Amino acid sequence: MGKRVLGLLLAAVLLFTGCVRVKTAETPAATEAPTEAPTAEPTEAPAAEYAITDPLLATGYDVQDNARVFYEIFVGSFSDSNGDGIGDLRGIIDKFDYLNDGDPNSGKSLGIEGIWLSPIFSSPSYHKYDVTDYYTIDPKFGTQQDLDDLIALCHSRGVKLILDLVINHTARSCSWFGEFTKAHRQGDTTNPYYEFYTYYTKGEQAPAGRAFAPLSGTDVYYECNFYDGMPELNFDNPAVREEILKLSRYYLDRGLDGFRFDAAKYVYFGDHKRSVEYWTEYLTTLRSEYPGLYTVAEVWDGDGVTDLYYPATNCFNFTVAQVSGLMAETAKQGNAGKMAQYVEKYLQKIRGTNPDAMFVPFLSNHDMDRIVGALTVESGNMQMAANLYVLGPGSPFLYYGEELGMRGSRGAANTDANRRLAMVWGDEDTVKDPEGTTYGRDKQIQKGAKQQMEDPNSLYNYYKKLIMIRKANPAIARGEYKAVAVNGSKVGGFTATLDGDTVLVLHNPSRNSQSVDLSAIGDFGTLRAVVGMHGASLSGTKLEIEGQTSVVLGK
Ligand SMILES: [Ca+2]
Ligand SMILES: [Ca+2]
């Protein structure tokens, strides 16, 4: 690394001395109760009310076509097709009917509309967030042909597929790092990989606030903010930028719909301005070539930071996520009107900098304790949380097994493997928990997908119904959002208008029945759907909505 570059980096570090070194810690998990099935009866409404006529925009590409229910699959833990205990791409293909059987009205499928796969490229780790070769599917997960088959299957069912793109760092076993090492051992500055990774040389001052490790046989210390097995690429090098474009095109040319960007804010550690500049440059180029591209970045931080990245790409919303997030707090007898007001302001803000911006809420992911440990199914809090993100705008992301109430938390062993446990199918699937798991099987749910599909009161069937309601009312996902707060109660939600149809969604997260005078909100004479732990009724303009229940109304 030259002195000029080092100086820039030092300046950047000084500007952002408050920045955390690694992914921010999350709130410790609450204790997980060993129960599973909901005790109260979810309210059923006539199936005809969910008739799905226009699940997604059919006429060409529209950015709001990406306002879908996505499903994160941690590939190695999902479904095993060949009996080695490790989930793989063929396993996802085998289980596709569970995710989406191609018939939105069949009632036999969860009905998700998008899939995010955790990294699938060759890698020495079980999680594969350290890539050896971006052009090879890890042999444990399958082949390029399997990926092509999965893309084709997704598209035949109207499902978009996005891959996890991990480009802040590679594995040490990546050939680029091998060349980088060789170049520095030989002092060969003509080697094109000499400047492929960020480093400083012995005698130079180490950049403050960042982590470096010695490169054996050299005077070089390479940057590795996550751990020394993840050397960080040098985005000041135009060849690196070109390489990332090249590998992105390689997959997009085969029909992939987009990417989830891992560790997006670490491209330039502690320097959001330059990181955003990078993503803007990269995505401006890609979008000009692939106009339907869907992207969402992991910028694990508060809104003040994700706001900076939104002009370039959608970002996951960490304010509403996790055990301590706004959705969990609202689900636990919080105020749904306050949450709706937050969402409205957030939408205005992100669309002010990016007209294509999408709200991307989620409850938990592979880096977090499973949310059900804090919310629980038997309390009804988990169901209320499900209402809040599925019956809402944008592209909510479900973490595989969330629809079953699957458990898993780091626990005393402090291992992320416990957050990535084997999908509980309840059938002959041979998928096993990842290496390093300490979470007891006795603490996991006992009823798997198979059993829950047969149980009308299961969380699975609850999620399925929610997704059907959402699809039957496209304005929920894509309509113009206006927050509704009902004074003097915790009832709240929003109105949304799309193509002349206006819906009103109201949530009552409290335990008490509430009366709402709809005349103050608008002319809503049809109760289209009721979903929750109890019921609701409409008489004239008076809506009676029982506790832990949500409704969808139309004109
Ligand atoms: Ca396998
Ligand atoms: Ca970096």
Q: Per-residue confidence at 1, pLDDT binned at 50, 70, 90?
A: very low
Please state, for a pLDDT cut of 70, what percent of the chain lies above it: 88
User: Domain 47-51+64-168+238-476, what fold?
Assistant: TIM Barrel (3.20.20)
47-51+64-168+238-476 and 478-554 agree in CATH topology? no
**pTM of structure:** 0.90
Task: Name the closest ligand to CA 139.
Answer: 1
Task: Name the closest ligand to CA 81.
Answer: 1
Task: Name the closest ligand to CA 89.
Answer: 1
pLDDT at 46: 36
d(CA 343, CA 483): 8
**Whether residue 262 lies in the annotated active site:** yes
pLDDT at 50: 52
Tokens 């050299």 belong to residue:
218
Average pLDDT score, the chain: 90
Q: Per-residue confidence at 23, pLDDT binned at 50, 70, 90?
A: very low
Distance 224 CA to ligand 2 centre (A): 8
> What CATH number was assigned to the domain covering residues 478-554?
2.60.40.1180
Distance 164 CA to ligand 1 centre (A): 19
Is pLDDT above 70 for 340? yes
d(CA 476, CA 480): 9
Cβ 547 vs Cβ 489: under 8 Å? no
Q: Which residues contact 110 (CB under 8 A, 6 or more apart)?
A: 71, 98, 99, 100, 403, 460, 463, 464, 467
pLDDT at 113: 95
> For the chain, what are the domain ranges?
47-51+64-168+238-476, 478-554
pLDDT at 62: 52
pLDDT at 132: 98
pLDDT at 10: 39
Is pLDDT above 80 for 60? no
**Whether residue 298 lies in the annotated active site:** yes
Q: Taking residues 357-385, what's their average pLDDT?
A: 96
Distance 263 CA to ligand 2 centre (A): 9
pLDDT at 12: 39
Helix/strand/coil for 539: strand
Distance 90 CA to ligand 1 centre (A): 8
Under DSSP, the state recorded for 416 is G
Is pLDDT above 60 for 57? no
Q: Per-residue confidence at 355, pLDDT binned at 50, 70, 90?
A: confident
Q: How far is CA 443 from CA 25, 300, 414, 503, in A?
A: 24, 29, 16, 40
pLDDT at 104: 86
Q: Which residue has the higher pLDDT, 1 or 215?
A: 215
Is pLDDT above 80 for 9? no
DSSP string, 331-353: HTT--HHHHHHHHHHHHHHHHHH
Distance 213 CA to ligand 2 centre (A): 14
Distance 347 CA to ligand 2 centre (A): 29
Q: Per-residue confidence at 105, pLDDT binned at 50, 70, 90?
A: confident
Distance 240 CA to ligand 2 centre (A): 12
pLDDT at 64: 67
Given 65, 113, 223, 262, which residue is catalytic?
262
Is pLDDT above 70 for 36? no
Distance 82 CA to ligand 1 centre (A): 5
For the ranges 102-106, 118-122, 218-222, the lowest mean pLDDT is seen at: 102-106
Distance 24 CA to ligand 2 centre (A): 16
Is pLDDT above 90 for 157? yes
Tokens 């009107």 belong to residue:
337
Task: Name the closest ligand to CA 94.
Answer: 1
User: Pairing state of beta strands 314-315 and 294-297?
Assistant: parallel
Bridge partners (DSSP) of residue 296 are 260, 314
d(CA 511, CA 490): 10
**Strands of the sheet with 397-399, listed across from one edge:** 314-315, 294-297, 258-261, 160-165, 114-117, 70-73, 397-399
Task: Name the closest ligand to CA 240.
Answer: 2
Distance 212 CA to ligand 2 centre (A): 11
Q: Taking residues 96-116, what's their average pLDDT?
A: 95
Given 298, 301, 369, 429, which residue is catalytic?
298
Is pLDDT above 60 for 6? no
Helix/strand/coil for 510: coil
Task: Name the closest ligand to CA 88.
Answer: 1
Q: Which residue has the higher pLDDT, 280 or 40?
A: 280
pLDDT at 66: 86
Q: How far is CA 52 from CA 56, 220, 315, 425, 555, in A?
A: 10, 60, 29, 27, 18
Q: Which residues contact 330 (CB under 8 A, 6 or more apart)?
A: 336, 338, 339, 384, 385, 388, 507, 509
